[in-house]
A = this chain, B = another copy of it.
Amino acid sequence: MIYYWIDMIGTFMFAISGALAAWDKKMYHDIFGVSFTAFVTAIGGGTLRDVILGIHPIVWVKDQSYIIAIACGVLVTVLFRRYLLRYRRSLFLFDTIGIGFYTILGVQKSLAFGVNPWAAVIMGMMSAIFGGVIRDTLVNEIPLIFSRQIYATACLAGATLYILLGYTGIDPNINTIIGIILIISIRLFSLRKGWSLPYLEKARK
């Protein structure tokens, strides 16, 4: 039950981040473009995850609530766009909350399907970032995962901690919350502090 709500909140957050990104670009300004970008951003990661794991039917195909959550995200964006866009960081905040929830959900779903722990960490990260990669590609931005910021690495860290704490027999709900908070914290702190991963020296040819 808690997983269901995590999924709904993540879907809603990603839909807002997609709608805002599309709206912020003149090019995709019509109603279809904004809704389409919100939809693909929201379901992209989960669809990739379920297709790779072979989970059918894919959730949004069976359960109308996902489409309703996305419609709510689009509606909220339309109604409160001025407030949301006033602060440059809003897109970033909704995306951050989205990846936090989706990473842990992806790890949980993967483990429930008997995936090996390494692959579960990767699947958690992939399901969290893939929607955003599509969103950024659609609006012609360089995907966040290839910026110099700590982004996907935060997902990997949270997913790894979730797997490791899982071996200690911790209560799964508490473990879920810890993982989500870790991802959001790493992302927020690294951006504020300007952290980035060490760069590899370019080999001289």
Residues of A within 8 A of B (CB): 23, 26-34, 36, 39, 47, 51-54, 56-58, 60-64, 67, 78, 81-82, 85-86, 110, 113-116, 118-119, 122-123, 138, 145-146, 148, 152-153, 196-200, 202-205
Contact = CB atoms under 8 A, between A and B. Distances in A.
A30 B122 contact: no
Copies of this chain in its oligomeric complex: 3
B36 A116 contact: no
Given A30-B197, A54-B54, A61-B115, 11 more contacts: A27-B146, A31-B200, A32-B152, A32-B197, A39-B122, A53-B58, A57-B113, A57-B114, A57-B115, A67-B119, A78-B200
Contacts of A114: 57, 62
Query: What does DSSP make chain A's interface, helix, strand, loop or mixed?
Result: helix
B29 A85 contact: no
A67 B198 contact: no
B56 A53 contact: yes
A119 B54 contact: no
Contacts of A86: 205
B32 A153 contact: yes
